[in-house]
Amino acid sequence: MTADELRSKYIEFFISKGHERIQGKSLIPDNDPTVLFTTAGMHPLVPYLLGETHPAGTRLTNYQKCIRTGDIDAVGDPSHLTFFEMLGNWSLGDYFKEGAIEMSYEFLTSPKWLGIPVERLGVTVFEGEGAIPRDDESAAVWRRLGIPEERISYRPREDNWWGPAGNTGPCGPDSEMFIDMGREPCGPDCAPGCSCGKWLEIWNDVFMQYNKNAEGEYLSLARKCVDTGMGIERTVTILNGQKSVYDTEIFRPVIAVIEQGGAYQYGSDPEKDRSVRIIADHVRSSTFILGDHKGVSPSNVGAGYVLRRLIRRAVRHGRKLGLGGDGILMLSPIAKAVVEKFKGAYPELEENHSRITEELDGEEKKFLETLQKGEHEFEKILPNLLKDPKKIMSGRLAFKLYDTYGFPIELTEELAAENGMKVRREEFDEAFKKHQELSRSQGGQVFKGGLGDQGEMAVKYHTATHLLHKALRMVLGDHVAQKGSNITAERMRFDFSHPAPLSPGEIQKVEELVNKAIEQDLPVTMTVMSLDDAKSSGAIALFGEKYENQVKVYTVGKSPSDFFSKEVCGGPHVEHTGVMGKFKIQKEQSSSAGVRRIRAVLE
């Protein structure tokens, strides 16, 4: 089964079960200070899982592009990926454990759908902890469907529990589905959930059944939800009996271009195979980041920093395979194969193909210059290094070459070896580990999700983004469009399209307009309508955003015809503007080419 077929079958199945297909969202999340990228299929749905009503109803399904950066350095083995696609279905206070498990079982085992033999299916459920009982309810459903006791494994919190978005909030047990890969068990206790390789996870049903309060108590939720996730790449690998995600048709056309450019046959040499996998994953991830309608550019901070790391690591491994050189750039032809492969499911890749090519070419040229500078710097320090009779180069010096010039440790070791020296690698690794921990915190590996806590100040700041957006359009013109926002309980950040810095007078006018709307204590109302009706009523919708047929429109004003601001948005917002406090712009600066950034507070 191909990835395209799996996507189609999944959506078709859940539509047949009364689910509404919703659109996948951007890789760059809004209003979330805790992550740089959309990290899971449920990430954009957190506000609805926490109680917001979704305009498409209570049964939803989609596929979502995701990026996880915590394992960048592990990419290169047969399974790790930075970019992946997630299939999901959700119940927002509709069906619960029995309905979700029955649908999961049917999709996995029915010959009409995936047709996985029941005897290869194993499951895990939560074993219970403290006041939270063992999830016998889920186990009983699996038993009734035909999963024998020996293939139902009770697992602890770290395996089968979904925690709240913050310290408090909805949470609950999950039930995970595994496929028996036919290997011998590692011992008498080997069961679904064991990490020896016999059992491979294919799907996860999360049951949000409790609310954890500030005292740490778990109270039963009146509105229980289900969130599920199935990774496309892993599932296609399992369905086709392949050992690696890189052996699937998902990666074959991408790897074919790498093979042509380097005249190397994938599968011939383990070390070179690792380089091929790194290039294939990192170029695919970079193509999706750059091709997103909120696409960021390579930089030294935030999401741009992660993108730069991906591109530069791909270039370095390309050099190892003999790709590029003599003025020939290696990345954009590989990216073209990615665009061709995925443009059907993600048309934004084709729409933004020229931007993808320009950014990749520019960054590749820049990095090649960086490598030359690093090599030049090494040559400068070489005479002093050679004076050391032990012929040892300090790891700190090697890390300085890496940190200052982006010069990879492998190349430093290579150059050192050519001159009869060794690098003190443990010292480098120690410095690199500290650097990695910083990178990981920049990469936002702690997922909390959107306006997860829906705290009072976060909701006020979310409403303030609407007032600011309208005020900027009034002062600067209708070309202004929101390009992103980031909200915490202490401040807001708002990115918008505009070609030049704002003058002090323009900043003052914007502040005055926002504060006037706050002082007037305007009501904030929500209406569900079609996207076409929303636009014709004067509502602003974000350019390039994928919306459902039915959307929520938030109006700040006295009536539908007498309003200050009207936007298509998921929420939540204050009920009236008078509670927000005084709006103050602290800083206005450039974010990227043609995009400005405002930092502001509510006093």
**CA torsion, points 141, 146, 150, 151, in degrees to nearest 10?**
-80
pLDDT of 437 strictly over 80: no
Contact predicate 514/583, CB 8 Å: yes
**In the structure, what pLDDT confidence band is assigned to residue 439 with cuts at 50, 70 and 90?**
low
Three-state SS for 50-87 is CCCCCCCCCEEEEEEEEECCCCHHHECECCCCCEEEEE
Three-state SS for 401-422 is HHHHHCCCHHHHHHHHHHCCCE
Contact predicate 250/341, CB 8 Å: yes
Across 97-101, 353-357, 434-438, least confident range:
434-438
pLDDT of 449 strictly over 60: no
Read off the pLDDT of each residue in 383-400 and give the average, rounded to a whole number.
91
What distance in Å separates the CA atoms of residue 246 and residue 284, rounded to the nearest whole number?
12
Provide, rounded to the nearest whole percent, the portion of the chain with pLDDT above 90. 62
* Per-residue pLDDT, 441: 47
- Pick the most confident of 313-317, 484-488, 502-506: 502-506
Beta-carbon contacts of 159 under 8 Å, excluding residues fewer than 6 positions away, are 124, 176, 193
What distance in Å separates the CA atoms of residue 427 and residue 397, rounded to the nearest whole number?
9
Beta-carbon contacts of 286 under 8 Å, excluding residues fewer than 6 positions away, are 307, 310, 311, 314, 331, 335, 360
- Pick the most confident of 100-114, 256-270, 492-506: 100-114
What SS3 class is residue 566? strand
pLDDT of 213 strictly over 70: yes
What distance in Å separates the CA atoms of residue 121 and residue 312, rounded to the nearest whole number?
41
What distance in Å separates the CA atoms of residue 174 and residue 164, rounded to the nearest whole number?
13
pLDDT of 185 strictly over 90: yes
pLDDT in tens, 569-589: 877 889 999 999 999 999 999
pLDDT of 528 strictly over 60: yes
pLDDT of 445 strictly over 50: no
Output the CA angle 574-578-582, nearest 5 degrees: 105
Read off the pLDDT of each residue in 262-283 and give the average, rounded to a whole number.
92
**In the structure, what pLDDT confidence band is assigned to residue 291 with cuts at 50, 70 and 90?**
very high
Residue 301: count other Cβ atoms within 10 Å of its Cβ. 10
pLDDT in tens, 78-94: 888 999 999 999 999 99
pLDDT of 153 strictly over 90: yes
Read off the pLDDT of each residue in 488-495 and give the average, rounded to a whole number.
86
Beta-carbon contacts of 283 under 8 Å, excluding residues fewer than 6 positions away, are 254, 314, 331, 334, 335, 338, 360
What distance in Å separates the CA atoms of residue 449 and residue 30, rounded to the nearest whole number?
10
* Per-residue pLDDT, 325: 75
pLDDT of 165 strictly over 80: no
- Pick the most confident of 209-218, 295-304, 398-407, 447-456: 209-218
Look at residues 422, 416, 428 and name the one whose alpha carbon lies nearest to residue 378: 416
Across 226-230, 259-263, 507-511, least confident range:
259-263
Tokens at residue 159, please?
């395996």
Distances (CA, A) of 515 to 177, 304, 369: 53, 33, 49
* Per-residue pLDDT, 47: 82
User: What's the N-to-C CA distance of the chain in angstroms?
Assistant: 56
* Per-residue pLDDT, 342: 97
Three-state SS for 143-212 is HHHCCCHHHEEEECHHHHEECCCCCCEEEEEEEEEEEECCCCCCCCCCCCCCCCCCEEEEEEEEEEEEEE
Peptide bond between residue 560 and the one before it cis (omega within 30 degrees of 0):
no
**In the structure, what pLDDT confidence band is assigned to residue 209 with cuts at 50, 70 and 90?**
very high
Residue given tokens 């498409």 in the structure block: 56
Read off the pLDDT of each residue in 419-438 and give the average, rounded to a whole number.
85
What SS3 class is residue 39? coil
Look at residues 226, 304, 315, 240 and name the one whose alpha carbon lies nearest to residue 67: 304
Concatenated DSSP letters of 278-340: HHHHHHHHHHHHHHSTT-----SSHHHHHHHHHHHHHHHHHHHTT-SBTTB-SHHHHHHHHHH
Distances (CA, A) of 513 to 263, 471, 477: 62, 6, 14
- Would you say the C-alpha torsion 493, 497, 499, 504 has a positive or negative sign? negative
Read off the pLDDT of each residue in 86-106 and give the average, rounded to a whole number.
97
What SS3 class is residue 453? coil
